[in-house]
Amino acid sequence: MDAQFWDDRYGGQPQLFSGNPNGVLLTELTELPPGQALDVGCGEGADALWLARRGWMVTAVDISQVALKRAAAAGADVEGRVSWKRGDLTTAPPPANAFDLVSVHYFPLSRQDDHLALRGLLCAVAPGGTLLFVGHDITGLPERLDDGHVPADYYQPAEIAELLDADWTVTVNETRPRVVPPPPGSHHTHDTVLRARRTR
């Protein structure tokens, strides 16, 4: 799933996703005071725009230039509050201790023995900041999906919770029904949600 894969996927239709922010974002962060946010795998920008319209300064990163151009076009009203950046956070980590919120929704982060890419994302959360990591519940899915991907190859939120050290306080680590129905053809009826606060 490289840049060309995602450019082709986004470019294949005028709009790939609904344009609405992810339901877990609204559920978990509505009361969080705004600060600096990192939106990982921002896609067409719905989450980043929701945050920016509530006072956040957002760095929104995606590997697809097609998605980023589409997101920027939708966010003219918050120009200056969102920085749209093309990048691969699995190979180029974000700055350390820089964000009050690191938001990761349905991002295919490949599992690594040294957890290097994951640790880069965790280090980006400033002391006192929040990590929100949301995935699809893979319970009951086949070992290999029709598109060839193996769900177990990617980090799940509960697994990340187990890797957090004493510098973190986990406030949510659960599986819950999706706030909105899954997209047509999707088997993902439940979300796995990790919310944690970096204490130091």
Report residue 10 as tokens. 């986004």
Q: What is the mean pLDDT of residues 87-112?
A: 93
| Statement: the pTM of the whole predicted model exceeds 0.85 | yes
Among 17-26, 52-61, 114-123, the least confident range:
17-26
- Asked if pLDDT for residue 148 goes beyond 70, the answer is no
Beta bridge partners of 61: 40, 85
> Quick one: which of 107, 192, 121, 114 has its CA closest to 154?
107
**d(C-alpha 61, C-alpha 84), whole Å:** 6
> What's residue 186's pLDDT?
65
Residue 79 — pLDDT band, cuts 50, 70, 90? confident
